[in-house]
């Protein structure tokens, strides 16, 4: 017999995964001007326990964006090579802001689902007490 899927656990797993995504998005934004910094990407995967999928979501392994780093010409920069170039960051602030907004809204949707499930459980207990 399979274990029933708990909506509270599903919502909580979604909130954990989106908070991880928000954390890495914030790190990316903080390092937008860091030379040689590669954007961090968070992937999601279905959680598996005892060899069975649970329906929950986990943040998967962290990946680095492999797009080419821009070459910036600044001969006065301490990391500049003999030609006056150094590698910048491949973080695009507009993309990071959009990702942060999307992750925040997804987190809020999971939070609303969590609260709604909790309220339904409380209502059911009230009905059973009558």
Distance CA 110, CA 117 (A): 11
- Model confidence over 13-63: pLDDT tens digits? 999 999 999 999 999 999 999 999 999 999 999 988 888 888 889 988 999
Mean per-residue pLDDT, 3-16: 83
85: confidence class by pLDDT, cuts 50, 70, 90: very high
Mean per-residue pLDDT, 84-94: 96
2 pLDDT more than 70: no
Centroid of chain to Cα 94? 16
1 pLDDT more than 50: no
Put simply, whether the predicted model's pTM sits higher than 0.85 gets the answer no
124 pLDDT more than 90: no
6 pLDDT more than 90: no
Classify 39 as helix, strand or coil: coil
Distance CA 20, CA 25 (A): 9
């Amino acid at each position: 017999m399979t274990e029933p899927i708990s909506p509270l656990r599903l919502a909580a797993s979604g909130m954990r995964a989106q908070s991880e995504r928000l954390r890495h998005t914030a790190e990316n934004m903080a390092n937008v001007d860091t030379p040689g910094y590669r954007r961090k990407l968070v992937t999601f995967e279905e959680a598996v326990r005892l060899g069975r999928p649970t329906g929950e979501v986990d943040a998967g392994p962290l990946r680095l964006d492999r797009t080419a780093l821009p070459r910036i010409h600044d001969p006065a920069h301490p990391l500049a090579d003999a030609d006056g170039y150094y590698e910048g960051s491949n973080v695009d602030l507009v993309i990071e802001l959009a990702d942060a907004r999307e992750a925040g809204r997804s987190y809020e949707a999971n939070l609303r689902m969590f609260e709604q499930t909790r309220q339904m459980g409380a209502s059911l207990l009230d009905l059973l007490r009558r």
